[in-house]
C-alpha cells in the first residue's frame, strides 16, 4: 500500500513540475537574440556593428531595459548600443524603452579607433516590471589593419606556413598561427639579411592569421620572411619571379 502511495505522490509531483514549466513558458513576454555572428572581423578603422532583435510577444507596449553588463576589449576601444529610440552615448550603461508588439532592431557598436585587437561587449535585456525575465547576449569584434586577416580563433601551436603562391608575381599570401596572445613581428628580408618590409608589428590574440604581401618594386630573386612571436622564431624562403 505504501509503495502505491509513493508512486502516486511521485506522479503528482511530476505533474506539478511540468505544469509549472508550462506556466513559466506561457509567461514569457519577449525575447532578445543576436542576428549577427558572435564574432565579426573587419579592417574598417571604425570598428564593427552587430545586430540583434527584441521580439515583444505581448499584445501591448513592453518596457524593456538594456544593460551593458561588461566589456572586454583593448585599451582605447569604446562601445555603445542603439535601442528603438536612439543610439546612446558610449558612457551609457542602461536605457529603457517601450517596445511595440513584434520585432524591433537593436544595434551594438564596437569602436576600435584604429587599434588592432579583439573585443567583446555583453548586453542584457530585462523586462522592467519583472527583471527575472531577461536574456544576456555576447557580441564580439576583431579589427585588423588592411593586409592582415584573422582566419580562425583556434590555434594549438606556433606555425609559419609556406607562402602561396610561390614563386609569385607580384602578390602572395602568408599564414601563421599563435597559440596565445603574443607580440608578433613578421618581416621580409633579402638574401643579405637586410630588412625590406614590415608586414606585422603588433600584439595579436590567439588564432590563425593571413597576411597579403605585394612585392611590387622588388626584383626577381629569393627573399625570406621571418616570424617572431614571444620566444618563437620561424623563417621561410619565397621567390619573386617576374
Q: How far apart are CA 224 and CA 160, in angstroms?
A: 12
Q: How far apart are CA 130 and CA 134, in angstroms?
A: 8
Of 18-32, 34-48, 60-74, 123-137, which gets the smallest average pLDDT? 18-32
pLDDT (tens digit, 9 = 90+) per residue, 11-27?
554 544 444 444 444 47
Quick check: 6 pLDDT over 80? Answer: no
Report residue 53 as a C-alpha cell. 532583435
Quick check: 4 pLDDT over 70? Answer: no
4 vs 61, higher pLDDT: 61
Assigned superfamily of 148-240 = Macroglobulin (MG2) domain (2.60.40.1930)
Task: List the chain domain ranges.
Answer: 29-143, 148-240
In 3D space, the residue among 156, 226, 222 whose CA is nearest the CA of residue 192 turns out to be 222
pLDDT (tens digit, 9 = 90+) per residue, 79-90?
999 999 999 999
**CATH topology agreement for domains 29-143 and 148-240:** yes
Mean pLDDT for the stretch of residues 67-87: 95
213: Cα separation from own chain's centroid? 25
Q: Provide the pLDDT for residue 126.
A: 97
- Confidence label for 3 from pLDDT (cuts 50, 70 and 90): low
Q: Provide the pLDDT for residue 22.
A: 44
Q: Provide the pLDDT for residue 5.
A: 46
- Confidence label for 197 from pLDDT (cuts 50, 70 and 90): confident
Residue 5 phi, psi (nearest 5): -65, -40
Quick check: 178 pLDDT over 90? Answer: yes
3-state secondary structure of 146: coil
* Mean pLDDT for all residues in the chain: 88
- Confidence label for 176 from pLDDT (cuts 50, 70 and 90): very high
Side-chain-side CA neighbours of 149 within 13 Å: the count stands at 13
Assigned superfamily of 29-143 = Immunoglobulins (2.60.40.10)
Quick check: 219 pLDDT over 70? Answer: yes
Quick check: 102 pLDDT over 90? Answer: yes
In 3D space, the residue among 164, 146, 158, 166 whose CA is nearest the CA of residue 227 turns out to be 158
- Confidence label for 8 from pLDDT (cuts 50, 70 and 90): low
- Confidence label for 146 from pLDDT (cuts 50, 70 and 90): low
Question: Pairing between strand 221-229 and 232-240?
Answer: antiparallel
Measured from the Cβ of residue 128, the count of other Cβ atoms closer than 10 Å reads 13
Quick check: 213 pLDDT over 80? Answer: yes
Amino acid at each position: 500500500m505504501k509503495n502505491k502511495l509513493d508512486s502516486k505522490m511521485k506522479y503528482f509531483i511530476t505533474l506539478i513540475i511540468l505544469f509549472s514549466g508550462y506556466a513559466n513558458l506561457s509567461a514569457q513576454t519577449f525575447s532578445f537574440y543576436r542576428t549577427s555572428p558572435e564574432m565579426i572581423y573587419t579592417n574598417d578603422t571604425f570598428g564593427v556593428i552587430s545586430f540583434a532583435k527584441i521580439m515583444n510577444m505581448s499584445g501591448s507596449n513592453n518596457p524593456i531595459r538594456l544593460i551593458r553588463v561588461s566589456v572586454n576589449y583593448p585599451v582605447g576601444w569604446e562601445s555603445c548600443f542603439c535601442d528603438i529610440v536612439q543610439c546612446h552615448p558610449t558612457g551609457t550603461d542602461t536605457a529603457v524603452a517601450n517596445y511595440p508588439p513584434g520585432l524591433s532592431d537593436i544595434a551594438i557598436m564596437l569602436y576600435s579607433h584604429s587599434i588592432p585587437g579583439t573585443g567583446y561587449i555583453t548586453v542584457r535585456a530585462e523586462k522592467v516590471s519583472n527583471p527575472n525575465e531577461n536574456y544576456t547576449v555576447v557580441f564580439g569584434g576583431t579589427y585588423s589593419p588592411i593586409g592582415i586577416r584573422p582566419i580562425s580563433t583556434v590555434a594549438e601551436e606556433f606555425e609559419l606556413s609556406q607562402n602561396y603562391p610561390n614563386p609569385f608575381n607580384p602578390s602572395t599570401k602568408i599564414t601563421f598561427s599563435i597559440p596565445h596572445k603574443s607580440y608578433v613581428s613578421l618581416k621580409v628580408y633579402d638574401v643579405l639579411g637586410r630588412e625590406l618590409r614590415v608586414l606585422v608589428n603588433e600584439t595579436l590574440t590567439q588564432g590563425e592569421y593571413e597576411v597579403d604581401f605585394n612585392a611590387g618594386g622588388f626584383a626577381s630573386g629569393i627573399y625570406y620572411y621571418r616570424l617572431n612571436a614571444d620566444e618563437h622564431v620561424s623563417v621561410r624562403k619565397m621567390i619573386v619571379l617576374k
